[in-house]
């Protein structure tokens, strides 16, 4: 079997009719969700009291304005956490294929970690993780 006949067979079997069951399932799922939301709004209890309409604050009395500015340090630490957390995700393909990758893959992994270590040293030298102002 040549590649051309294989490609022609794939194109002939890949028609819009093959996606009909998936479309029907998506329409059914969306309809079911809409029906259940409507049913719960129609049948469910509607007892609106002052306590239920108040914002949920975990039992702590609210005080002050919620729109007061926050220190940029919180956002900086959050972004740095995401950056170094995503780094860990890139270790997974190496862990799965480490035997096939061999020493070339290991050296690429060391270079990858080296770039992040350099970035981490830069962050520490700039004082991004110091909380004192």
Rounded to the nearest 10 degrees, what angle do helices 72-89 and 98-126 cross at? 170
59 within some domain: no
Q: Would you call 70 helix, strand, or coil by DSSP? A: coil
For residues 37 and 79, membership in a common domain is answered with: no
64 within some domain: no
For residues 79 and 49, membership in a common domain is answered with: no
37 within some domain: yes
Better-predicted residue by pLDDT, 106 or 14: 106
Q: What's the token pair of residue 12?
A: 């002939």
Give the whole-angstrom CA distance, residue 34 versus residue 113: 48
For residues 91 and 37, membership in a common domain is answered with: no
**Residue 101's pLDDT band (cuts 50, 70, 90):** confident
As a whole number, the mean pLDDT across the chain is 81
For residues 30 and 84, membership in a common domain is answered with: no
Q: Closest Cα to residue 80, out of 122, 109, 113?
A: 122
Q: Is the pLDDT of residue 8 over 60?
A: no
pLDDT digits (tens, 9 = 90+) for 23-64: 999 999 999 999 999 999 999 888 888 877 777 767 677 677
What's the domain range around 106? 71-133
Give the whole-angstrom CA distance, residue 78 versus residue 22: 39
For residues 7 and 32, membership in a common domain is answered with: yes
pLDDT digits (tens, 9 = 90+) for 70-82: 777 778 788 888 8
What pLDDT score was predicted for residue 43?
92
Q: Is the pLDDT of residue 9 over 70?
A: no
10 within some domain: yes
For residues 40 and 94, membership in a common domain is answered with: no
65 within some domain: no
pTM of the model: 0.42
For residues 2 and 49, membership in a common domain is answered with: yes
Give the whole-angstrom CA distance, residue 44 versus residue 16: 41
Structural domains of the chain, count: 2
Q: What's the token pair of residue 127?
A: 């004082």
126 within some domain: yes
């Amino acid at each position: 079997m040549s590649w051309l006949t294989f490609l022609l067979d794939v194109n002939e079997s890949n028609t819009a009719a093959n996606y009909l069951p998936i479309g029907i399932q998506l329409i059914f799922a969306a309809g079911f969700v809409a029906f259940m939301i409507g049913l719960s709004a129609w049948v469910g209890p509607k007892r609106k009291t002052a306590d239920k309409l108040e914002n949920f604050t975990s039992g702590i009395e609210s005080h002050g304005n919620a729109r007061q500015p926050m220190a940029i340090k919180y956002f900086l630490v959050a972004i740095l956490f995401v950056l170094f957390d995503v780094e860990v995700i890139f270790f997974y393909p190496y862990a799965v294929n480490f035997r096939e990758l061999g020493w070339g893959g290991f050296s690429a992994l060391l270079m990858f970690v080296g770039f992040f270590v350099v970035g981490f040293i830069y962050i520490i030298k700039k004082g991004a993780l110091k909380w004192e102002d």
